[in-house]
């Protein structure tokens, strides 16, 4: 309990909303208080914790979430740029459909999307390569069984590829 005198000389009491163990102040210790003269019931002890603890905590968590969200947005736009570049100047090859699987490692709004995998000889390396599609909301197993799928690859970067499923998947069905 903290007792103080306001500018009119009235004695007022309040209990600080932040507590600690051990207490931050001893019984009888004088402390600085801050209050609104027009609303003396709006009072707090003038300390680092009462002034800055909540703003720093919320600001820190807010900054963390903003960085995570910004990183996800940056990655999404980066992937869109890679796909655009591949469509413009990539090398189109035909790859053998291997499977369409439920990607349980990814959840969007409580649902897991599907991904298509295919294999072909990469023109840049001459080695058999596996390609994985972006996430989609359709199971194309029956549709693609025994078929080839178009894959656009970057001849300079064997890791950059895009399985073009636009023949079977509408843009709204992409995750």
**How large is the average pLDDT for residues 109-114?**
95
Locus of tokens 């349980």: 104
Closest CA to 40 of 15, 18, 7: 7
137 touches 113 (CB < 8 A): yes
Are the beta carbons of 38 and 4 closer than 8 angstroms?
Answer: no
Give the residue, 10 or 113, on which the prediction is more confident: 113
Residue 12 in contact with residue 40, Cβ under 8 Å?
Answer: yes
26: which residues sit within 8 A by CB, 6+ positions away?
A: none
Render pLDDT for 66-105 as a digit per residue (tens, 0 to 9): 999 999 999 999 999 999 999 999 999 999 999 999 999 9
pLDDT tens by residue, 14-42: 777 777 778 777 787 788 888 888 887 88
CA gap 39, 142 in Å, rounded: 71
**Residue among 46, 134, 126 nearest 86 (CA):** 134
């Amino acid at each position: 309990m903290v007792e103080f005198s306001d500018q009119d000389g009235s004695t007022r009491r309040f209990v600080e909303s932040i507590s600690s163990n051990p207490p931050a102040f001893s019984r009888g210790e004088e402390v600085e208080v801050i209050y609104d003269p027009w609303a003396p019931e709006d009072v707090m002890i003038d300390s680092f914790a009462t002034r800055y603890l909540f703003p720093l905590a919320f600001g820190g968590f807010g900054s963390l979430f903003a960085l995570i969200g910004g990183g996800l947005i940056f990655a999404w736009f980066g992937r869109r740029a890679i796909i655009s570049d591949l469509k413009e100047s990539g090398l189109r090859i035909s790859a053998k459909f291997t499977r369409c699987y439920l990607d349980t490692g990814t959840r969007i709004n409580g649902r897991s999307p599907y991904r298509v995998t295919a294999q072909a000889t990469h023109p840049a390396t001459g080695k058999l390569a596996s390609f994985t599609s972006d996430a989609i909301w359709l199971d194309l197993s029956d549709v693609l069984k025994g078929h080839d799928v178009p894959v656009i690859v970057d001849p300079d970067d064997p890791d950059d590829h895009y399985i073009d499923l636009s023949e079977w998947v509408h843009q709204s069905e992409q995750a």
